[in-house]
Structures are given as structure tokens and as C-alpha cells.
Structure 1
Amino acid sequence: MEQALTGNVTTGVVRVGDTVRRPVGPWTDAVDALLTHLHEVGFPGAPRPLGRDDRGRQVLEYVPGELGDPAGTYSPGELASIGAFLADLHRATADFVPPPSAVWQRVIPPDGEALICHHDVAPWNLVRSSRGWVLIDWDGAGPGTRGWELAYAAQSMAGMRPDRPLAESAARLRAFVDGYGLPAADRPALAALLGHRARAMSDLLRRGARDGVQPWARIHAEDGAYWLATAELLDAHVGRWSAALA
């Protein structure tokens, strides 16, 4: 029996027993190669790829557990743990060599291509499982940079948003980045990148609404104001974030 799994972006994702079935795209073979690499190097924080089913859908391991709160309610200790988890992921992908024919789904162009990133490290894709943190929904994986991924993950996981006091957001940012172990020399650049990365998301949704492209037009109607306000907040307080990370 198939059980529909709801998500904000991808439709047609179902659970069948202890597997997940997803529609394939031009990027699916590259994603499978990446997930195979992560499994082979012993990284437990991603589902195992299990080939294709008789309908040609991607088959993945189903990882039971609890998804995070989009509002970013993790404790400081949990934020440090998630930061360390992301650092483990980046170490695991550092030596991944994509297939020559690899195609990636580039939803938001990154600011470089230093390593392969997940590109949506956020509470809605993070499972608290019996084997630790596990990231799901790898369709947007592809080349990127540590800073680009960290900026998005830190804002999303720490819940740096307009209705949270600045001091609290700054402290939560520090907990996440300390957990990741980002060198001191790289921290001012990350502070400046936070708003830039949030604005890239805001721009994606705005273009989707303008051009009628789904699901971005729908998400713009639901969350467009949030992403614009968040980008403005992060840009307005770069000095505060930099001081917190110093």
C-alpha cells in the first residue's frame, strides 16, 4: 500500500513499507551516486538509495523519526549537534567525484562549486532518528560552497527570524557555528552571507510568483513576506552576527 508523504516542494512522493518512492528527474542518477558514496564512506545521515521500482521511480530507504519544527525551536545543545552533523556531511562529500554525466537540479545558483552540498539543510528536511540526525529530500543537491550551505542552514536551524529577539538569534547562531567548527577567519564572511542567502530564496519565490512557476508561486503567497523580512533583518545586523561569532 502506498502512503502519500506531504512536502512543500516535491509531489508524488510516497511511502511503501520501509521504502520511499520518488518521481525521477534528470538529476536522479547523480543524487543516487552521491547517496551511494555517503553510504560507502560510513555517513549515517542520509537515506540509502535502493534503485528503481517497476514504475521507474527512485527507491530510497525510509528513515523513521521526527521532523523538525520550521520555526527553529532546537535547543542550543541540539544546534551545536546539528552543526557538527553538517560538518560531518561536508567531510563525507569532500572526496565525492560525480559521474561524468552528472546533472544537478540548480534551484538557486550557488556562489561557487567547491564541494557537493545538500542545499536545503533546514528543519523540514531533518529527521531525528534512532541512528541520529538524517537529512532527507536530496533532489536539490549539487555543487556549492560551505559558506552558502552554512548561511542557509544556520538561519533555518537557529530560527533567525524577525519575531525573535536579536540577542537570542545571535546566541543561537553562535551555537550552530561553534558546533560546525568554522574557523575564526571564515566567520565574518559568514555573517555577511546570511542575508545574501536569504535574499536569494526571496528572489526565487518572487520570480516564481511573477512568472507563475510552481511550487514557488504558491510558496511566495504563503511565505514570501517572511523571506523578504528575514533577508532585510539579516542584512541590517551583520555587525551583530559578526560580534556573536567572534
Structure 2
Amino acid sequence: MEGEEVLTGGNVAGRVVRVGATVRKPALPQTAAVEAVLEHLAEREFDGAPRTYGLDDEGRHVLEYVRGELAHAMPPSTLDELRRVGRLIRELHDTMETFEPPADVTWNVIVPDLAGGDLICHNDLAPWNLVRNDERWVFIDWDNAGPSSRLWDLGYAATAFLPFVAGGDPQVDGPRLRALVDGYGLDPEQRRALPAQIAARTRGQYDLLIRGHETCEQPWARLYDEGHADYWGPTAAYIAEHHDDWVAALVN
């Protein structure tokens, strides 16, 4: 199509392009499910997700192009910005509570919640999927949406947005985690449960990369070769090691 601008980033979909005020990406088995989620969010006036416009003549999924800058390309979030991210995730989860998934759709949840869950979540809430501008903060790339839980989804966001890194300082990371969680508004019981969920979700990402390396499944095998497991494995160990520090930061 004339006027297409190839967009970089993303690991699941193939060639993604911008055409005017829209993004076009290859339809996947889960695209119908993603459309249902985005339609639900639009109907309830949640502006933290792009609008969906169906399929074009080439069978590509057409989405709203959201102008702005990816949070991943910006300096680490301040405490106030972490609170705002927490509030945005809470609004998203609350809005999805009334979503009734269509019966015949396919989901693609790459790291399922170990305890199960029936809330349809984004499952990849991270700075590389958050577009920020002066008017809106918008989560993009919904291809991994599917059944999960509030804490599992928030746990991944915590690792990505703080960000947690191996060899970090709990005295620095604790207040940052507290800011995200305060923005979300977890109750005391959820605050005590969250650190274990963060560690398990982070470990799950590492295990995914190891399986990809062993089975040659893409894009995980390629991401393993690029060194991503070197981040997720040690980071999961750091989070688990300081479990009590995170509980203290969240509850005290």
C-alpha cells in the first residue's frame, strides 16, 4: 500500500506499518480476541488502549496510531510516574471486570498465571509497550492478552517499570515498588501476596526463554541468543531473595 511506513519493535507480529493515522499488522490467530478486548475498552471510554478498526483489504489488523514516545526510550519513571502507571493498570483491570469473552476466540498467553485466573489482562505491561504523549498514556501490543489475574499482570509490570535488575538495592527499589502499588491501590492482603507473584512471573519469563532455546521456538530462541535470559534469570533470583524487603516496603 502506498504511503506505508515500517515500524520497528515487537517480537510476535510480522511486518508492522503505519498508514496515516493507523497501524497495520498481520492478523494472528488471536486477533479476533484482541479486537473484542479493544472494542470493550473503547465502549467503556478507557483511553489507555488504541482503538481497533477491523481488517483491511489485505487482511491486516487495523489499529489507531498513537503519537508519542515509548516510555522505554525515556529516563526511568519517577515516583509520580510510577503512581500514574499503577492507576492506569488499575483502571484497565477494573474496566475488564465486565468483559465477557466471545466463545470461539483464541488467546496467546505466553506465561500463564500458575494459579490460573479469569480476568482478561494485557500480559505484557512494560515501558516498551507504553506510548506517552501530553494527552494520553496508551498501552499497545495486545497480542498476548488473555486469561490471567490482577497480581500476575501487575507483577510483570513491576519488574519492567521499576525496573528490577539483579544486584539492585532494596532501599531504592522498595519505595519505587511502593509508588506503583499505591497508584494501583492494592489492599493489605494483596500487598503481602504481590512479591511472590513478581518473582514467579519474572522466573516464568526466564523459563520461557530457556524453553525457546531448547526447542528453537521463535521468537524466544532468538531472544535467548540475544542475551535476554541473562537479565530475567538473575533478576528473578534477586526479587525472590529480597521477598521480605518488598513486603516491608509495601505494608509498613
Secondary structure (helix, strand or coil) at the match of 1:69 reads: helix
Q: CA, structure 1 residues 142+70, in 2 after alignment: closer, same or farther (shift >3 Å)?
A: farther
One-letter amino acid matched to 1:152: Y
1:18-97 correspondence runs (5 A): 18-69=21-72, 73-97=76-100
* Residues 119, 149 of structure 1: 8 Å contact kept: yes
Structure 1 residue 36: deviation in Å? 0.5
1:217-236 correspondence runs (5 A): 217-222=221-226, 223-236=228-241
* Residues 195, 231 of structure 1: 8 Å contact kept: yes
Corresponding residue to 1:134 among 131, 134, 138? 138
Give every structure 1 segment of 4 or more consecutive aligned residues whose post-TM-superposition deviation is greater than 4 Å: none
Task: Indicate the residue corresponding to 2:18 in structure 1.
Answer: 15
* Residues 64, 129 of structure 1: 8 Å contact kept: yes
Task: Indicate the residue corresponding to 1:244 in structure 2.
Answer: 249
Task: Indicate the residue corresponding to 1:192 in structure 2.
Answer: 196
Distance in 2 (CA, whole Å) between partners of 1:162 and 1:70 is 21
Q: CA, structure 1 residues 26+13, in 2 after alignment: closer, same or farther (shift >3 Å)?
A: same
Distance in 2 (CA, whole Å) between partners of 1:98 and 1:69 is 31
Task: Indicate the residue corresponding to 1:3 in structure 2.
Answer: 5
Residue correspondences, number:
246
Task: Indicate the residue corresponding to 1:181 in structure 2.
Answer: 185
Distance in 1 (CA, whole Å) between partners of 2:108 and 2:149 is 16
- What per-residue deviation string (whole Å, max 9, x for no partner) do you get for residues 194-229 of structure 1? 111100000000110111111111111221111001
Q: CA, structure 1 residues 122+189, in 2 after alignment: closer, same or farther (shift >3 Å)?
A: same
Structure 1 residue 72: deviation in Å? 7.2
Distance in 2 (CA, whole Å) between partners of 1:8 and 1:127 is 13
**What residue ranges of structure 1 are gaps of 5+ in the alignment?**
none
RMSD over aligned CA atoms reads: 1.3
Distance in 2 (CA, whole Å) between partners of 1:11 and 1:226 is 25
- What per-residue deviation string (whole Å, max 9, x for no partner) do you get for residues 51-74 of structure 1? 111100000000001101279700
Secondary structure (helix, strand or coil) at the match of 2:131 reads: strand
